[in-house]
Structure 1
């Protein structure tokens, strides 16, 4: 379990700790991986993907900088509505994972490309029930498939990457279906953008945005799409 206060304290401690003695961090340099051989069909209307890969601050930040993404919202998926809150999910026994709901335009970016970004720069998919310094099932690597097609594409891509030995270890990412997404508290939305100098963000999440620009320049947008701006427009 890692509360918001302990996460901030941990990040501050990392700044004062020699790198060689620091725990694993989630911002290690990613590797280039092939695009999925099987992709979802190009729908005419906006689609939704829900992905979990460690702390939702960084996952949200990467997709907010992704061209074709209309909105990226931090939240919880995998458990019941009653336990879909930050305090309760931090116990790691609710079934929830910190997740991000990504609304995207399939005419500008495909579901497969979102997954390629997910496996390459968002997180390390070989870590089981953790991501960098954050430990627990709430930080697991999970694709919450929204339909049968997304499930097929995700399964095929994981099999493709494992067969190609794209990573040094087997992918630990799971695929879950039929699990509703619940939006997280407002103070978690746009967190990386609103707190760019916060130590945890500097250490774990800002490098991911840089990796996104480096590995996916054609899909990178400098100005992030923010939940607060989308909400203002919709209102």
Structure 2
């Protein structure tokens, strides 16, 4: 784990000087978006709102991107894959739990399907060739993972990972895994809508704002300019 990972910045809030832990200090070159292949296996999810869970490094950026996707109704930062007793931010970043930082989204499949969310995720959010890290953040809690919550998502995710492996888009092996759905734990309130609340934060500007710009450029019909706020 990078020393001081997610502890490198302090943020003075307007309401007072509250020190927050945050994602690792941006010390590396920006990740580049890729043209992930259009999914061949189309999700058939039926009517009604659905949920999906994605783990792709620091949850600020994952939440930030999905909060700009049309059809997404809610995006919550949190933890998946571990126990309730250790599902707190400070405990997880210290290592030794099996959680991943993750985002649970609620979406309308008549506007954006699960397979389309997968393409967006691997195009502008997560590098599927990195094991237990994303960008400058290192540790198993920063792993990339898909967490299907039903049989249809499981089938679509499995098919898409296989398609990705054969696509030739990535020059290293795909290491993103499908993980069994377990309980999702929402992160502390100050992590929610972090990009919207802290647009000038150093980590956001360096790592996450470029992902949103890539979403707008690469998926213009899926992009919504207004940040979806869970507290709105």
Where does residue 86 of structure 2 map in the other structure? 83
- Pairing 1:142–2:149 present: no
8 Å CA contact 1:11–1:199 kept in 2: the answer is: no
Deviation at 1:29, TM superposition (A): 2.0
Where does residue 123 of structure 2 map in the other structure? 120
Which among 37, 49, 53 is matched to residue 52 of structure 2?
Answer: 49
Where does residue 201 of structure 1 map in the other structure? 204
CA distance in 2, matches of 1:111, 1:144: 12
CA distance in 2, matches of 1:172, 1:213: 27
Deviation at 1:3, TM superposition (A): 5.1
8 Å CA contact 2:124–2:214 kept in 1: the answer is: yes
Where does residue 29 of structure 1 map in the other structure? 32
Which structure has more helix as a fraction of its residues? 1
68-77 or 173-182: bigger deviation: 173-182
The 1:12–1:31 alpha-carbon spacing in structure 2 relative to 1, beyond 3 Å, is: closer
Deviation at 1:92, TM superposition (A): 2.6
Kindly tell me the number of residue pairs found equivalent between the two proteins.
220
Where does residue 8 of structure 2 map in the other structure? 6
Deviation at 1:39, TM superposition (A): 2.2
The 1:87–1:12 alpha-carbon spacing in structure 2 relative to 1, beyond 3 Å, is: closer
Stretches of structure 1 lacking an aligned partner (at least 5 in a row): 15-21, 230-235
The 1:82–1:11 alpha-carbon spacing in structure 2 relative to 1, beyond 3 Å, is: closer
The 1:7–1:137 alpha-carbon spacing in structure 2 relative to 1, beyond 3 Å, is: farther
- Pairing 1:68–2:71 present: yes
The 1:151–1:222 alpha-carbon spacing in structure 2 relative to 1, beyond 3 Å, is: same
CA distance in 2, matches of 1:124, 1:220: 20
Deviation at 1:165, TM superposition (A): 1.5
CA distance in 1, matches of 2:23, 2:145: 24
Where does residue 227 of structure 2 map in the other structure? 224
Per-residue Cα deviation, 1:33-74 (whole angstroms, up to 9, x for no partner): 221111221321100000000000000000000000000000
CA distance in 2, matches of 1:96, 1:7: 23
Deviation at 1:171, TM superposition (A): 1.2
Per-residue Cα deviation, 1:55-107 (whole angstroms, up to 9, x for no partner): 00000000000000000000000001111110111123211000000100011
Where does residue 18 of structure 1 map in the other structure? none
- Pairing 1:166–2:169 present: yes
- Pairing 1:155–2:166 present: no
- Aligned-pair RMSD on alpha carbons? 1.8
CA distance in 1, matches of 2:142, 2:210: 19
Q: Match of 2:77, SS?
A: strand
CA distance in 2, matches of 1:44, 1:139: 33
Calculate the TM-score normalised by the size of structure 2.
Answer: 0.90
The 1:195–1:31 alpha-carbon spacing in structure 2 relative to 1, beyond 3 Å, is: same
8 Å CA contact 2:45–2:152 kept in 1: the answer is: no
Deviation at 1:224, TM superposition (A): 1.2
CA distance in 2, matches of 1:69, 1:160: 25
